[in-house]
Amino acid sequence: MAEVGDSKTALEELRAEVGQCRRCALSRSRTNIVFGSGNPDALLMFVGEAPGYHEDQQGQPFVGQAGKLLEKLLGRIGLTRGDVYIANVLKCRPPGNRDPLLEEIDECRVYLERQIAIIEPLVICTLGNFSTKLLSGKPDGITRVHGVPQPLPGSGGRITLFPVLHPAAALYTAANLRILEEDFDHLPQLLDGKADSPPPGAAMDESQQPPPAPEAPSEPEQLDLF
């Protein structure tokens, strides 16, 4: 675990290590690794799925339309990209923006786990199915668990996991955007440690649900961060 003030250096060292990674076949097709960006001592961390075309070209996460929406949502709660840290489950783009494969997630997850251990945020906001299932260790889909805070496994209760819809699911669907905005409105309270967990029935009803998202591994292992 990095001491206060050492997070930036620790992340830079990890970034250099990821830049040399050849753990899976994605290393042969990437243009750039997309390690993550933002405040190395952030209280709030976002974890998405995998880089897309623009992220692969620029080496930065969430720089396309979904990224612009994420910035608007942050502005809604008085934050900017510089206040938070943004990363993905995978650090390299899957060809054709296909879904991550199980073996790719298994090979790459160690880097995300180390990022979390270095940053030690108070809240991790998972964006969509893949990051939610990986970090929660549960198979429940995002439409069932969005907006419901839970302890991050392996953190001793020090980190809260808060799943929300992926911004891409809200780009062209007004109902999804409204749900995402409402969930984001809970983040300031979570960061202050004052939010109560909504009841399990708070998940959206079937008329509000977005199209089913691709399934991630059903039983990922729990993290052991600290």
What residue segments make up the domains of the chain, in order of their start? 26-194
Cβ-Cβ contacts under 8 Å for 101 (sequence gap 6 or more): 94
Q: Estimate the crossing angle of helix 129-136 against helix 102-119, to 10 degrees.
A: 70
pLDDT tens digits for range 155-198: 999 999 999 999 999 999 999 999 999 999 999 999 997 655 44
Instruction: Decide: 108 and 91 in contact? Cβ < 8 Å.
Output: yes
**Residue range 8-34: mean pLDDT, rounded:** 97
- The CATH architecture annotation of domain 26-194 reads 3-Layer(aba) Sandwich (3.40)
Residue 202 has pLDDT above 70, yes or no: no
Q: What angle do CA 86, 37, 159 make, to 5 degrees?
A: 45
